[in-house]
Amino acid sequence: MSTDELTTDITKQTENSPRELLTRTFFFLCAALSIVTTISIVALLVTEAARFFSLTAPLLGVTGPTASIVDFLTGTTWNINSGEFGVLTLVSATVMITLGSAVIAIPLGVATAIYLSEYASERARSLLKPALEILAGVPTVVYGFFALIYITPALSVVLPSIGTFNMLSASIVVGIMIIPMVASISEDAMSAVPDELRQAGYGMGATKFDVATGIVVPAALSGIFSSFILALSRAIGETMAVTIAAGSRAQFLNPVNPASFLEGSLPMTAAMVQLLLGDITGGGLAYRSLFAIGLVLFVITLVMNVISDFVAQRYREEY
């Protein structure tokens, strides 16, 4: 019997052993449970959101008040008391916080990753990286109160017209929250770049800065970009920090107007919290709007993750 045949025979015997079958079954059930949970969540969102819209509600036996899907997707007024459900109001606030946090987290996160990967000693890295990741362990409600008590008063010294609840403070605190995600994933991507590429750069007379920015960062670009998308997805789904810092008054703001960041508004996640804490009737129109907002939030996050996977596959470097 050849070596290959012997190896195949041993593998088959191992796979057919009771212990191996039990292990395979356990891991299969874990994978199946994850898939079933995901499908259940999506089905719940789609079903309840369909009950909210007038176009599909009759098909599901809904006879009460419903909302127009066109008004929901294009409206710029959110007021459940008057029956106005324009989700663009909530989306604009969420986009503003996402853009503002990206301006803070992306440069700081990438710079931190470059330092940890290329400049820091082993001892410094072993101390700084765990310290950085402590930020990810701080409860988000603490970040919200930090923004309200410290960041907003500090900003009011420079910007007297800023409101107590404002988008700028919420953007800053969310940006601080997602720095560890950008820095950690980017640093892992940079550390995976082979040292041969660095040594080749040094052999050509490049400085450490040239090697870091001209060789390491481009080689790790797919991982770095993925960290951006994942961090921004985290920013989009943040709840308690923006609920406290951004306020509870829904108003449509222009995301590209810097003056809008001085005002407060109601992001999608904060609107869901407000609806749940309010006196709404289970099964009513306001209650079903929760699932419509959740579906929009899910679609936005899904699109961002699909883009992340595409970029990671498109620009992935194999060594």
Per-residue pLDDT of the chain (319 residues; tens, 9 = 90+): 555 554 555 555 555 677 788 888 899 999 999 999 989 999 988 888 888 887 676 666 666 667 788 888 888 888 887 778 888 999 999 999 999 999 999 999 999 999 988 888 888 888 888 888 788 788 888 998 899 899 999 999 998 888 888 999 999 999 999 999 999 889 988 988 888 888 888 888 888 888 888 888 888 888 888 888 888 888 888 888 888 888 888 888 888 888 889 988 889 988 888 887 765 656 678 888 888 999 999 998 888 888 877 777 776 666 5
Strand partners, 87: none
Q: Where is 210: in which H helix or E strand?
A: helix 208-211
Q: Which residue, among 74, 73, 66, has the nearest Cα to 48 in the 3D structure?
A: 66
Cα dist from 46 to 39, 49, 84, 89, whole Å: 10, 5, 21, 21
What pLDDT score was predicted for residue 53? 83
- The full DSSP string for 63-90 is -S--B-HHHHHH---EETTTTEE-HHHH
- Where does 259-284 have alpha helices with state H? 268-277
Q: What does R_g of the chain's alpha carbons equal in angstroms?
A: 25
What pLDDT score was predicted for residue 202? 86
Strand partners, 25: none
In three-state secondary structure terms, 196 is helix
- Where does 68-166 have alpha helices with state H? 69-74, 87-114, 122-133, 140-146, 152-158
Structure tokens at 6: 């012997």
Dihedral Cα 207, 208, 212, 216, nearest 10 deg: 90
Strand partners, 84: 79
In contact, 83 and 256? CB cutoff 8 Å: no
Q: Which residue, among 225, 209, 219, has the nearest Cα to 114 in the 3D structure?
A: 209
Q: Which residue, among 109, 85, 100, 93, has the nearest Cα to 179 in the 3D structure?
A: 109
Q: Which residue type, as a one-letter code, is found at position 258?
A: P
The pTM of the full predicted model, rounded to 2 decimals, is 0.83
> In angstroms, rounded to a whole number, what is the distance separating the alpha carbons of residues 172 and 167?
9
Task: Taking the CA atoms of 24, 30, 33 and 34 in sequence, report the sign of the dihedral they define.
Answer: negative
What kind of fold does domain 71-315 have according to CATH?
A: MetI-like fold (1.10.3720)
